[in-house]
A and B are shown apart, each in its own frame.
Chain A
Amino acid sequence: MLKIDNLKVSLEEEDKQIIKGLSLSINPGEVHAIMGPNGSGKSTLSSVLAGKDGYTVNHGNVKFDGSDLLDAEVEERAALGIFLAFQYPIEIPGVGNMNFLRTALNSQRKTRGQEELNAADFLKLVRSIAKDLEISDEMMKRPVNVGASGGEKKRNEILQMCLLEPRFVILDETDSGLDVDAMKLVSKGVNNFLSSSRSFLVITHYQRLLNYIIPDYVHIMVDGRIVKTGDKKLALHVEETGYKDFLQLGKEKH
């Protein structure tokens, strides 16, 4: 489904390389987790996959369903089924949540040549998802994320995911800021959403999340590269000993 091949990315503004030769292959139905120290480039990788400005790809490529992902516009990637749950979801004052969600859903459907959802069907759909995630009506009526707590914003991201039904999902530290109950809700949402045709890239600092969302692979990312790949036991190892064993691996690869 997604194939990243020796990707090197630097910042557009300054000559600083962040992703330094990263390869990763994700098949349909797989859950991959990425762990790694602060500043190792996890969010940068997510941003590049989602199509954010400000980065220059110096080398390598990314294929999604066999075609070049990096050539596609941001909104085209969304319509292809790529979804990034942001580490820091922003607030957009003045843009109503419901209006935003409906516009997003219908834009994607239109781009894909599907029929748009009418107001009533949309409302029914969004309400049932909000209910499962315990997001209040009042929250839904507000402008996008305005006045929402950290955890509420993360839940909103998952609501968007459930509504837009992407095929490839990146969760960038969606667990950070969630209380135990919310974590269970969100994990349940994600698990219900798993299918043989969907794939996940789960970025997290905590092994705890991976008890709920069981990864097929765990990758350790250090200094812009994946330095070690294993199964969920690798996450337990990190939890116990930190990244010290892997930092050296990062340097050796230089």
Chain B
Amino acid sequence: MNHVNTSDWYNSLRQKLESDSSSIEKVSRRSEYWRKSNLDIVSDLVHNTSQIDLSNLKGTCLFEPDLTVLGDIIELASEESDLVSSIMDVIADEESFAKNFFGRLEEKSQKLIPRPLARDNSLSPKVGYALSLSDSFKKPLIIHNKTKTSASNCFQRNLIVIKDDVEATIIETGSNLSVCNSVTEIYLGENAKLNFLDLTGENNIFPKIAHKFCDIAENATFNHFGLRLNTKATRTEIELHLNGHGINTSIANVSLINKRDHFSDENVLVNHNSYECKSRQVFKSVLENDCTSIVRGKIYVAPEAQKTDGYQSSRSLLLSEKSKFLCKPELEIYADDVICSHGSTSSSLDKESLFYLLSRGVLKDKAKEMLITAFISEALDEVEDEGIRSALGHYIGNWTSCFFHE
């Protein structure tokens, strides 16, 4: 691959990563970590899009974007332009702040779980943003993905550095119109706070794998909310390193999937490396047809991470007998004074509740929608900001009423 204009630091990093990459186990059905997944995500086949109405594939557009990722370029709304730079500019800049951050977390992640696709991304990023915040950001930063069909096998690479005491909210919207492999490395300073809402993937028919690796310093907060609306083959990998005490994290995901043979695949690893940290994971999947939702959530507690409070709940609502919820909660605990709980359930729509609503005159589709909304509310409640939460609630409600009816 031809790398125009890359800095020396990137070149030497790239060289090192490339020579190490042969030791990373490839994606295969034989590996337990990938066995149940839809392996379309590794394919670089270019879909024939001539039959597809792309106007329906804009993805979730709840907010006006500040930044648009457009195929191989990014477009900035003017206000934010001094905060955000293109990742391609960043890796070309010898003096960029990124040189202390880029690739570090990807490399670290390989020690725990082989992630060959993240490594491919490090070796040839094509588009993405870099963001270093030293002041709190009052309004949410909206990043809209509008990857073109022509950008086949798109490697999106993002870097987010939030300095000590800084708070920010980032909302990612839109969808990828080609096979997409993204890696986002996130560094949170002491007492910093990041709310990240990943609303990408609505009606997404193109395979996508999105990695998020996050290093978190003491007393910081990281909240992540993911929304999957009829994703065809989307896999998310989130890995958190809780490196200081007093950290709070929440990972929540709502998957609503009802189109034939669609798929969502959420993989989370929370590493409690220090004491008195709290982590929550709440997954809710509503599935119809022969759709599959995979949830793999692991909590690792290091020996020094005393007084860890880890919670994980994965629940699915199966609206069809053919739909599948594959859930693998894992706990690996080496400290003795911890509270860790996990629960997982699959159930169908509660007949008694449905009858109660209908018997009061609520129409069937509406009643179903109300029960689905109720089911996912625990995950939605993880979204702190009331305005965003209610906007999301309405959006999901509308979506639900369009898709889950007889």
A residues apposed to B, CB below 8 Å? 50-53, 73-75, 77-79, 83-84, 86, 89-90, 92-95, 99-100, 103-105, 107-108, 111, 143-144, 160, 164
Asked whether A93 lies within 8 Å of B357 as measured between CB atoms, the reply is no
CA distance A196 to B371 in the complex (A): 37
Within the complex, the shortest CB–CB distance from B303 to chain A, in Å, comes to: 38
Q: What is the interface of chain B mostly: helix, strand, loop, or mixed?
A: helix
Asked whether A78 lies within 8 Å of B359 as measured between CB atoms, the reply is yes
Given A75-B364, A103-B366, A95:B359 Cβ within 8 A: no
Residues of A within 8 A of B357 (CB): 92, 95, 100, 104
Asked whether B370 lies within 8 Å of A103 as measured between CB atoms, the reply is yes
Asked whether A143 lies within 8 Å of B374 as measured between CB atoms, the reply is yes
User: Number of A-B pairs whose CB atoms are under 8 Å?
Assistant: 76
B residues apposed to A, CB below 8 Å? 351-353, 355-364, 366-367, 370-371, 373-375, 377-378
CA distance A95 to B353 in the complex (A): 10
| Chain A, Cβ-Cβ closest to B378 | A94
Which of B355, B366, B367 has the most C-beta atoms of chain A within 10 angstroms of its own C-beta?
A: B355
Given A94-B374, A95-B370, A107:B362 Cβ within 8 A: yes
Given A92-B353, A92-B356, A104:B374 Cβ within 8 A: no
Which of B351, B359, B364 has the most C-beta atoms of chain A within 10 angstroms of its own C-beta?
A: B359
The 10 closest A-B pairs by CB, nearest first: A94-B374, A78-B361, A108-B361, A104-B360, A74-B358, A94-B377, A75-B358, A95-B374, A92-B353, A107-B361
| Chain B, Cβ-Cβ closest to A80 | B361
| Chain B, Cβ-Cβ closest to A52 | B355
For the A-B complex with A51-B358, A94-B371, A164-B361 known, give 10 more contacts whose Cβ atoms are closer than 8 Å.
A73-B358, A79-B361, A90-B352, A92-B356, A92-B374, A94-B377, A94-B378, A104-B357, A108-B361, A111-B363
Asked whether B360 lies within 8 Å of A164 as measured between CB atoms, the reply is yes
Within the complex, the shortest CB–CB distance from B374 to chain A, in Å, comes to: 3
CA distance A75 to B370 in the complex (A): 15
Asked whether A78 lies within 8 Å of B356 as measured between CB atoms, the reply is no
CA distance A169 to B370 in the complex (A): 25
CA distance A99 to B375 in the complex (A): 15
Asked whether A53 lies within 8 Å of B359 as measured between CB atoms, the reply is no
Within the complex, the shortest CB–CB distance from B320 to chain A, in Å, comes to: 18
Residues of B within 8 A of A160 (CB): 360
CA distance A89 to B378 in the complex (A): 23
CA distance A190 to B352 in the complex (A): 26
| Chain A, Cβ-Cβ closest to B355 | A52
Asked whether A95 lies within 8 Å of B371 as measured between CB atoms, the reply is yes
Asked whether B353 lies within 8 Å of A104 as measured between CB atoms, the reply is no
Within the complex, the shortest CB–CB distance from B345 to chain A, in Å, comes to: 13
Provide 14 A-B residue pairs closer than 8 Å at the C-beta atoms, listed in order of the A residue. Answer: A50-B359, A73-B358, A75-B363, A89-B356, A93-B374, A94-B378, A95-B373, A100-B360, A103-B366, A104-B357, A105-B361, A107-B366, A108-B360, A111-B363
Asked whether A103 lies within 8 Å of B362 as measured between CB atoms, the reply is yes
Within the complex, the shortest CB–CB distance from A89 to chain B, in Å, comes to: 8
Residues of A within 8 A of B361 (CB): 75, 78-79, 104-105, 107-108, 111, 164
CA distance A104 to B357 in the complex (A): 8
Residues of B within 8 A of A95 (CB): 353, 357, 370-371, 373-374
Residues of B within 8 A of A144 (CB): 356
Residues of B within 8 A of A100 (CB): 357, 360, 362, 370
Residues of B within 8 A of A111 (CB): 361, 363
| Chain B, Cβ-Cβ closest to A74 | B358
Residues of A within 8 A of B374 (CB): 92-95, 143
Residues of A within 8 A of B352 (CB): 90
Residues of B within 8 A of A90 (CB): 352-353, 356
| Chain B, Cβ-Cβ closest to A77 | B359
CA distance A107 to B358 in the complex (A): 10
| Chain B, Cβ-Cβ closest to A76 | B361
